[in-house]
């Protein structure tokens, strides 16, 4: 169905019915800010019926109204404020006056800085990230399952498309479980309001930038989650979507200007092809379609060339860092964004919070394709993207090949080895997030044919290789399925609902096989958590032979040896080849089992198994 976007934007902006229903002053965003921020500039978005017809004034020491922007839609004003470094926290009225009309006023507050400078702890290779889809993890508050006035008001756990009722309270209730597992960082799929009529549970079509979806909880509860994590020395990653919003977003229902989103004569979806972004031979037409095409009919593509859009995105993300103590961002669909804007966005975050960490989703094929998006201008990008890390799809393809392909010169585990051998192209590959599955991908246990040995090999690699490991909720208890469609890999964590007949959060609720998997993850994750050698230690890998891949993580204090047999039969590996890293060591401890290995001159590995050994002198 063709969507006449230009016509839509005019209709949405000029509908007389909307005028009649709109309050004279509907909202001001951001609704408050903080004194003492590094950037003295702040742009407020003001929305209300014909608000542009009014004069604006304010009077507060240290705050100057620099400029009032009137745009195409008379229901908007954009106010540029300059905030002096010496300004004191406090409140003041912003007045909107018009001769012959009642004056309007908004009490704006500059709060004292919320966050202690030491509160924001950048995510790093010392961490272990656990990804949760909030709607499908645990329902801690039944009272918010259905919220009056929101468009989607059906709870149906038997459907993969409807909401199931999981929420922030459910996550808070299970922090002990996550901490015990060895998790240090939570990444939640987007939790901002998604008041879309259908399939709003996944969160990637937000309709508000400053409000948590009430079916998950409240802004205050989200901040409480951040506080609870901080008490446990854990961290919070927020999933942000700068590329697009939901079609029901308030700025789409009444757009400030036609250029707020990318306009096309008829509906045009992105090609989702990353190559035109960096292809020296690419046509401008292909590049434009890739970056300016819409993600879907209900996800309008924001025009990041528009300075008002730029400010709106950047300020709302900084607001959440300061308000809730968000320690990092995962950036959805990174490659589809305007690259120079994202560099500007990243620089703004780092200037406000030095060392701040964020990583971009780069679902691409080929190491150079992936490196292209990372910071440092390492592959002749022409400018610094300011992006510290990416979702490392290349190592994902490598570990999948290692487990499922027959070994060969370029096949099987050779792909994993070759992928890591190309790390020289990154400014710092240890900032990449490595993973086995996520909310868009088939679950790891299914990918390896429900073979527990292969499953464990993947987990062993995840928790011992370089980078920041990320586990998808339920992977530790062998949740399975293929992403056809995506909803099949977004099932509920059993035990998260009071009506569940089993509780997988407990030993008693899990099967023997599930407990074996859970305990394997827990053992390796907590070893990693307590041993810097697997966090920041150097890596040395050896060319795979006969399907055997061997690598070491080492620092001055410890050496860990990982030996992966990807073949179909038991193999005995003589270790004299690894003397460069094993010299002086004569025994080891199997980290997964705690067993002593008295003789390490040779190692016997059953088919499709991986040994993780701490070497001893």
Q: What is 147-216 written as a DSSP string?
A: -TT-S---B-TT-SSSB----HHHHHHTHHHHHHHT--EEEESP-B----SS-GGG--S-S-SS-B-TTT
Side-chain half-sphere exposure of 158, counting CA atoms within 13 A: 0
How big is the CA angle at 122 (ends 116 and 123), to the nearest 5 degrees? 140
CA Rg value for the chain: 26
Q: How far is residue 26's CA from residue 19's CA, in Å, rounded to a whole number?
A: 11
Q: How far is residue 83's CA from residue 586's CA, in Å, rounded to a whole number?
A: 64
Q: Which distant-in-sequence residues (6+ apart) come within 8 Å of 149 by Cβ? A: none
Tokens (6 digits) for 68 = 């009032």
Strands 104-111 and 129-132, how do they pair? unpaired
Q: Residue 601: helix, strand or coil by DSSP?
A: coil
Cβ atoms 470, 438 nearer than 8 A = yes
Active site residue 332: yes
Catalytic option among 254, 301, 332, 476: 332
Cα dihedral across residues 494, 147, 46, 83: positive or negative: negative
The distance from CA 121 to its chain's CA centroid, rounded to whole angstroms, is 16
Catalytic option among 141, 193, 195, 361: 361
Task: Please state whether the peptide bond connecting residue 265 to the residue before it is cis, i.e. omega within 30 degrees of 0.
Answer: no
Phi/psi at 352 (nearest 5 deg)? -80, -35
Q: How far is residue 35's CA from residue 2's CA, in Å, rounded to a whole number?
A: 47
Question: Virtual CA dihedral for 509, 514, 515, 521, nearest 10 degrees?
Answer: -130
Strands 55-58 and 27-29, how do they pair? unpaired
Helix (H) or strand (E) holding 131: strand 129-132
Cβ atoms 18, 39 nearer than 8 A = no
Cα dihedral across residues 150, 153, 158, 160: positive or negative: negative
Give catalytic residues, as residue numbers.
Answer: 332, 361
């Amino acid at each position: 169905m063709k969507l006449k976007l230009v016509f839509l934007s005019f209709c949405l902006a000029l509908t007389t019915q909307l005028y009649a229903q709109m309050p004279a002053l509907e909202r001001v965003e951001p609704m408050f800010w903080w004194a003492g921020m590094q950037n003295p500039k702040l742009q407020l978005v003001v929305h209300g019926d014909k608000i542009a017809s009014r004069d604006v004034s304010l009077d507060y020491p240290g705050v100057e109204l620099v400029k009032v922007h009137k745009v195409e839609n008379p229901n908007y004003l954009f106010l540029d404020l300059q905030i002096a470094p010496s300004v004191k926290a406090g409140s003041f009225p912003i007045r909107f006056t018009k001769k012959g009309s009642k004056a309007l006023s908004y009490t704006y507050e500059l709060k004292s800085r919320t966050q202690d400078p030491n509160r924001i702890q950048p995510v790093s290779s010392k961490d272990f990230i656990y990804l949760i889809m909030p709607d499908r993890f645990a329902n801690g508050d039944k009272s918010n399952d259905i919220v009056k006035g929101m468009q989607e008001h059906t709870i149906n756990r038997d459907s993969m498309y409807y909401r199931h009722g999981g929420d922030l309270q459910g996550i808070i209730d299970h922090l002990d479980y996550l901490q015990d597992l060895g998790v240090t960082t939570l990444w939640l799929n987007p939790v901002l309001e998604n008041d879309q009529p259908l399939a709003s549970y996944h969160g990637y079509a937000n309709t508000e930038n400053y409000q948590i979806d009430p079916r998950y909880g409240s802004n205050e509860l989200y901040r409480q989650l951040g506080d609870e994590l901080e008490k446990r020395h854990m961290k919070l990653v927020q999933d942000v979507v700068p590329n697009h919003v939901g079609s029901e977003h308030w700025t789409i229902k009444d757009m400030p200007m036609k250029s707020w989103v990318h306009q096309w004569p008829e509906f045009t979806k992105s090609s989702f092809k990353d190559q035109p972004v960096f292809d020296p031979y690419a046509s401008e037409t292909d590049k434009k379609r890739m970056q300016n095409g819409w993600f879907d009919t209900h996800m309008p593509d924001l025009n990041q060339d528009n300075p008002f859009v730029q400010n709106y995105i950047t300020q709302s993300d900084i607001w959440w860092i300061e308000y809730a103590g968000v320690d990092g961002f995962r950036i959805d669909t990174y490659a589809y964004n305007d690259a120079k804007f994202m560099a500007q966005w990243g620089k703004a975050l780092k200037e406000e919070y030095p060392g701040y960490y964020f990583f971009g989703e780069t679902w691409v094929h080929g190491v150079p394709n992936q490196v292209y998006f990372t910071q440092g201008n390492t592959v002749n990008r022409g400018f610094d993207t300011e992006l510290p890390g990416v979702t490392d799809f290349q190592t994902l393809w490598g570990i999948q090949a290692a487990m499922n392909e027959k070994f060969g010169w370029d096949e099987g585990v050779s792909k994993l080895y070759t992928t890591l051998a190309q790390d020289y192209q990154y400014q710092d590959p240890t900032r990449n997030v490595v993973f086995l599955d996520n909310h868009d991908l088939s679950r790891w246990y299914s990918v390896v044919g429900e073979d527990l040995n292969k499953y464990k090999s993947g987990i062993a690699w995840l928790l011992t290789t370089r980078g920041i490991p990320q586990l998808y909720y339920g992977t530790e208890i062998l949740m399975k399925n293929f992403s056809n469609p995506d909803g099949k890999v977004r099932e509920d964590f059993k035990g998260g609902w009071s009506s569940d007949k089993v509780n997988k959060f407990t030993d008693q609720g899990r099967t023997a096989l599930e407990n074996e998997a859970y305990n394997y993850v827990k053992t390796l994750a907590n070893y990693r958590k307590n041993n810097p050698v697997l966090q920041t230690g150097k890596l040395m890998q050896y060319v795979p032979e006969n399907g055997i891949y061997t690598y070491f993580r080492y620092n001055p204090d410890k050496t860990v040896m990982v030996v992966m047999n990807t073949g179909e039969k038991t193999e005995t590996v003589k270790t004299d080849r690894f003397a460069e890293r094993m010299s002086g060591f004569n025994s080891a401890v199997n980290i997964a089992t705690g067993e002593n290995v008295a003789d390490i001159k040779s190692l016997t590995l059953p088919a499709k198994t991986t040994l993780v050994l701490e070497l001893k002198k």
